[in-house]
Chains A and B, each alone.
Chain A
Amino acid sequence: MFDRDRWQEIFEAIGKNKLRTFLSGFTVALGILIFTVLLGLGNGLLNSFLSSFVDDAQNIIFINSGNTSKAYKGFQENRKIQFKNEDFEFIKSNYIGKVEFATPRVYRNGQAKYKRESGSYNIRAVNQDHQYLEKTIMMKGRYINEIDVKERSKNIVIGRLVEKDLFKNESALGKMLDVDGIPYKVVGVFQDSGGDNEERIIYIPFKTVQLLFGNNDHIDQINLSYNMAMSSEQAIAFADQIKDDLKEKFKVAPDDQSAIRVRSFAEDIKETMVILGGIYLIIFVVGIGTLISGVIGIGNIMTFSIKERTKELGIRKALGASPRSIIAMVLQESVLITSVAGYVGLLLGIFVLKLIGNNLEKFFILNPKVDTGVIIVATITLILAGLLAGYIPARRAARIKPIIALRDE
């Protein structure tokens, strides 16, 4: 294997038979190129699917209320269902162990003003759990905490772009921000990967909003996350259970679709996983197919090459080449060509994926690339493929009878 002379002999043979080498190398390089690009695009698709979930926790459930669409138990239809604090407490205390985080939400719009700058922003009145549900990342300061909620404090958390809009280059931390005429203290600034709109939001403790805007205990929406230990089937069942319990509590017809709405990603995730599984299967099948056809290609070209070299190998045997040395020569040549060409194909593939980059985002392909583990596996596969593809022709080469090879045509 590490016989320098044999390598020299092989390099000589390769160097002086460039077309043959190029042809066999080309097949392999093309196969690996296609495989790499395919795999990268598949990963891009996966990235794109996953990124649609990263904005929020994947195990989140949204609960909304609306108007009834059916008369039931003596109630008229079109009755407005309004969640209150007790409903939130009901959910928190009723499903212990199943609920991980839970927050009420109250939506408002507010005119925020600092010195001369002002703007209209979405206000979300929430509790301390909201940070985990929304995956909010604090840039500075802190999030709303339990004490803020309990004491109805006028502490608020603003988005990065709110700070940028209103405070310009100043830090908003500790400053007073005027929202609809009421001054609040900024205790934190956050960022969010969900896009610009998600960073133009102001968070206020929900009890503060309930006190200051209308003095009631109304809630617009309840968000909660379920225990990740649940399977997606269990999560779907859990969401249905919440829906049924709330319908009973509010005396809503069981088949009323509009009064209580419970939405979770569990179903989406399940569907997505099925689709992704399908995509991966296709990539796997096509990829393996490409690799196999590449290997068969090398095998063919090596067989052809052996045929073409029959005379040469016959001469070598007449001059004293042992069958082993012939096998080793053919195999080493095959492995060398496969590895080098495969590596070139791999590099080209990675280069193509780099070129594609995020240009195909509108086709749901985000940041396509292959990881190191796959590259290592691919390299080992290549060497094995080279061995496999070279072995049968090599055996045949070793069996060449010099007397037949040297017969004059």
Chain B
Amino acid sequence: MIEIKDLHKSYQMGSNSLHVLKGIDFSVKEGELVAIMGSSGSGKSTLLNILGMLDEADSGSYFLDNVPIKGLNETKAAQYRNKFLGFVFQSFNLINYKTALENVALPLYYQRKKRKERTDKALSYLGKVGLADWATHLPSELSGGQKQRVAIARALAADPKVLLADEPTGALDSTTSYEVMDIIQNINDEGKTILVVTHEPDIANMCKRIVHLKDGVIVEDKEVEQVRASRYV
């Protein structure tokens, strides 16, 4: 699903150049649930941004579902993001003046789906994360866990190939974190490929594979015995 070879990325900080990613080789097969771990500054967010086409690598190759991701213009990148990727962010990033339902329906709007279809689909995904009754509520009326569940529903709405979650539990208490991870595991059980960036070992252990990043290189890549989040819920 994801094929990365010798990926480099550096940022210009004034006159200094900061080498963040120093040759990453990494591949993810369909249906995997991968945790990317590392301390801050290890390059894990940069990697996720490149995977999410929000940023571009300086060198190296990146194939997503056998499509080369390189030198995309803004319009093309937007199209690919819409078609291939779903995003879940630490700070939820819901549009605050739109209801839960409208937020979930937004990616479908950019897929030019009909209004009726958008509403139906959005409602069914909200049901999937257990928030069908909250469809007409604004983000400000939802708890943190509920917001993240809406964000997950939104990421799923466009039926992406890969779900990218950047510290999805970073702003949540542990009980709520496990609820969210439970949902992520359930989605993965249905066959969706998911990448989770986290620095919490217990969250990482709920994935099937853990990749450790340190100073811009992968130092460890191992399969783990998945801990089911449902045990804690």
Q: Which chain A residues have a beta carbon within 8 Å of chain B's beta carbons?
A: 5, 8-9, 12-13, 16-17, 311-312, 314-325, 398, 401-403, 406, 408
Contacts and interface: CB of A to CB of B under 8 A. Distances in A.
Interface stretch (B85-93, B123-131, B142-150, B183-191): B85-93
Given A322-B79, A403-B49, A408-B91, A316 B97 contact: no
Interface of B: 49, 52, 54-55, 74-75, 78-79, 81-83, 87, 89-91, 93-98, 102, 106-107, 109-111, 115, 154, 158
Given A12-B98, A319-B106, A401 B75 contact: no
Given A319-B154, A320-B110, 11 more contacts: A8-B115, A12-B98, A312-B96, A315-B93, A315-B94, A316-B110, A318-B54, A318-B93, A319-B106, A319-B110, A322-B79
Given A403-B49, A403-B54, A322 B75 contact: yes
A14 to B, nearest CB: 10
Contacts of A315: 93-95
B81 A324 contact: no
A398 B97 CA distance: 20
Contact of A5 (B49, B95, B109): B109
B95 A406 contact: no
Name the residue in A320, A398, A408 with the highest tally of chain B Cβ atoms < 10 Å from its Cβ: A320
Contacts of B91: 408
| Closest 8 A/B residue pairs (Cβ) | A320-B82, A16-B97, A320-B110, A403-B54, A322-B78, A319-B107, A322-B75, A323-B74
9 contacts: A8-B115, A9-B109, A12-B98, A311-B93, A317-B81, A319-B154, A320-B110, A321-B78, A325-B110
Given A5-B109, A9-B109, A13-B97, A401 B82 contact: no
A327 to B, nearest CB: 11
Contact of B74 (A8, A12, A17, A322): A322
A401 B55 CA distance: 9
Contacts of A398: 74
Given A315-B95, A320-B158, A403-B49, A5 B115 contact: yes
A267 B33 CA distance: 94
Contact of A323 (B55, B75, B93): B75
Contacts of B96: 312
B54 A401 contact: yes
Contact of B97 (A17, A318, A321, A406): A17
A408 B170 CA distance: 12
A85 B75 CA distance: 91
A400 to B, nearest CB: 10
Nearest to A9: B109
